[in-house]
Amino acid sequence: MEKVVIVTGANSGIGLALCERLLTEDTQLRLCLACRNMQRAEAARSALLTSHTGAHVDLLQLDVGSVESVLDAAKVVKSRYNRIDFLYLNAGIMPNPQVDIGAFFKGLFSRNVINMFATAEGLLTQQDCLNSDGLQEVFATNLFGHFVLIRELEPLLCQTGHTSRLVWTSSSNARRSAFSIDDIQHRKGTEPYSSSKYASDMLSVALNRRMNGQGLFSSVVCPGLVMTNLTYGILPSSFWTLIMPIMWLIRIFTNTFTLTPYNGAEALHWLFLQKPESLDPRAKYHSLTSGLGTNYTEPRQMDIDGETADVLFSKLLELEKGVRRKLCERNADNEAHQRYLNEIE
């Protein structure tokens, strides 16, 4: 039986590299590229079909930063497939990252240089804004949209006698210090990306606590330091030209500098081959590359409190109810929205 695999943010970077690796591993996959920009998604599909002639690659328009788009996409998925084997929650944004140039050059010539590049701790801030749903954009895209998608696709993910997998693309930048359970959208902070990634780590733990008994298993991955469009947007191109030789040199001494999307997708691909019952629900699976260029995966325990993770889950449920209520009121003539409004009354 062919596996059904959906990858969000699949048109470039780690997402596209993962799709390439999955098709190389299993030519019988039914692979769905869930992307916001359909022109780029079509280009990605064409590239995959060029190297994997005869592969079954579908497209799905999905902007995880918009709840309405998530609901529309979920409706298409439920009409197209009768189950989901893997849902890779890979899409994410880091809008308008600002670099402290002084801290950068100070760190560049210090003992902290490897950690600085690997985590960007103390180096980056981002300018967040509200989206059309009235939510913080980074929180909505990196976490909440995926949460709503999971909730909508539960009938395909949780089926008797069937095991399904969620795999989150997290980050080494996911730090407990950036997250507050009293401000889950990070409205008051300056590190929304770090906060959203730590929240996704927490949500994975909460999902395992709630859903393993229904055959749904969640895992978290850190791709390491990968050069993608998101990464290149942090610094001007002239800076990258200057420091790339240094980064390749540092890679000899640290395994977290995966650098290429193919290497960064290592743990995502590795999890595809594992039995979920053998995995640690509290581990983050790191993509690592040795100085000689060998890729491998290593689990590391996450700094997550289970009870706090459950509180986050409950807060997301309440937020979902509020956002969907607003959508129902905005689309009062839509029968499906109206039915949902009646159900939550």
The Cβ of residue 26 has, within 10 Å, a number of other Cβ atoms equal to 15
Distance CA 216, CA 148 (A): 16
Distance CA 92, CA 15 (A): 10
From start to end of the chain, where are the E strands?
Answer: 4-8, 30-35, 56-61, 86-89, 97-99, 124-126, 164-169, 216-222, 283-289, 295-301
Distance CA 207, CA 155 (A): 15
Distance CA 315, CA 17 (A): 34
- Reading the block at residue 288, the tokens are 């690592």
CA distances to 33, 93, 134, 249 from 186, in Å: 29, 15, 13, 36
**E strand or H helix that includes residue 266:** helix 266-272
Report yes or no: 203 and 316 within 8 Å, Cβ to Cβ.
Answer: yes
What type of residue is 97? P
Distance CA 156, CA 78 (A): 7
To the nearest 10°, the Cα dihedral for 117, 142, 169, 92? -70
Query: What letter does residue 2 receive in the DSSP assignment?
Result: P
Report yes or no: 280 and 299 within 8 Å, Cβ to Cβ.
Answer: yes
Q: Mind telling me the catalytic residues? A: 193
Distance CA 127, CA 108 (A): 24
**E strand or H helix that includes residue 80:** helix 67-80
